[in-house]
Structure 1
Amino acid sequence: MVNNTPRPLPDAPSDTDGVSPEEELTIVSSAFAALGSETRLAIVLRLVRAGHSGIATGELGEAVGVTGSVLTHHLKHLKAAGLIYQEKDGRRIMWFADHDFVGDISHFMVKECCVDDQWVIKNG
């Protein structure tokens, strides 16, 4: 049975307990590097759209137009970066986006918006 509950992310960039700014930058940089491939970005976007239901490996491959060892290669990189995870459901392997982590890396960029903009600083 697939567990549709999002998993906790103790190492996510938003978890600043014990994570230095340099470590946070490394974590986020690795995630963005993994997303540097159109295929990998398509995989993550498809998994984000699937929500907490996830997608079986074969269906995911069909959805993004990549199968077999090429799909496995991309999934390995995304999993290593912490963007996705898998769970066994009987004989199927289900893939999920780590929604919390995807949100964390998005927030990492947005939180810097206009920090050094003098107009914003003066006019609040």
Structure 2
Amino acid sequence: MEKTTAITVFESLASGVRLDVFRLLVRQGPAGLVAGEIAVALELPATNLSFHLKALMQAGLLTVAQEGRFQRYRANIALMQELIHYLTAECCAGQPAQCAELDAAADCIDCAQASGS
């Protein structure tokens, strides 16, 4: 991934609405959702959602397929994984054991937050 692509993705996700849309579609996996389902799930007006879907599409974060009168949106999981790889490619100066320790520490923090500690 090029730096400019990563910047474009981050700029697109810098909007709270777009981040919510992308995370919702990531949860849906390959099934995706039609625009109306996204609007209902996130309690957004259709006109507002359309603007955000267009921005996510331009950044390459979503794919869309026509289904009759509807358009089904899906998260571009491959791009998301490519971005994660780009961010972590040089993690811990090439010492993966250190990264595993960081992952374990993050899991502990996530568990503590989930249990309300």
Scaled to the shorter chain, the TM-score interval is 0.7 to 0.9
Give 3-state SS (helix, strand or coil) of 1:50's partner. helix
Q: Matches of 2:10 and 2:76 in 1, distance apart?
A: 14
Unaligned stretches of 5+ in structure 2?
99-117
Contact 1:40–1:78 (Cα < 8 Å) also in 2: yes
Q: How far is 1:116 from its partner?
A: 8.4
Aligned length: 96
State whether structure 2 residue 68 is matched by structure 1 residue 90: yes
State whether structure 2 residue 48 is matched by structure 1 residue 32: no
Give 3-state SS (helix, strand or coil) of 2:73's partner. strand
* Larger RCO (CA under 8 A, 6+ residues apart): 1
- Within the candidate set 49, 56, 67, 2:27 is matched to 49
User: Could you report, residue by residue, the CA deviation over 1:13-56 in whole angstroms, capped at 9, with x for unpaired residues?
Assistant: 2xxxxxxxxxx000111001100011111100010111111101
User: Could you report, residue by residue, the CA deviation over 1:45-70 in whole angstroms, capped at 9, with x for unpaired residues?
Assistant: 01011111110100011112212221
- Within the candidate set 103, 106, 123, 2:84 is matched to 106
Q: Matches of 1:54 and 1:116 in 2, distance apart?
A: 36
User: Could you report, residue by residue, the CA deviation over 1:72-120 in whole angstroms, capped at 9, with x for unpaired residues?
Assistant: 1111111000000111111111000011001111111121322289xx7
State whether structure 2 residue 51 is matched by structure 1 residue 73: yes
More helix, by proportion = 2
Percent of residue pairs bearing the same amino acid type: 31
Match of 2:93 in 1: 115
Q: Matches of 2:18 and 2:7 in 1, distance apart?
A: 15
Give 3-state SS (helix, strand or coil) of 2:90's partner. coil
CA RMSD of aligned residues (A): 1.6
What TM-score do the two structures reach when normalised by structure 2?
Answer: 0.76
Once the two structures are overlaid, the 10-residue window that deviates more, 102-111 or 74-83, is 102-111
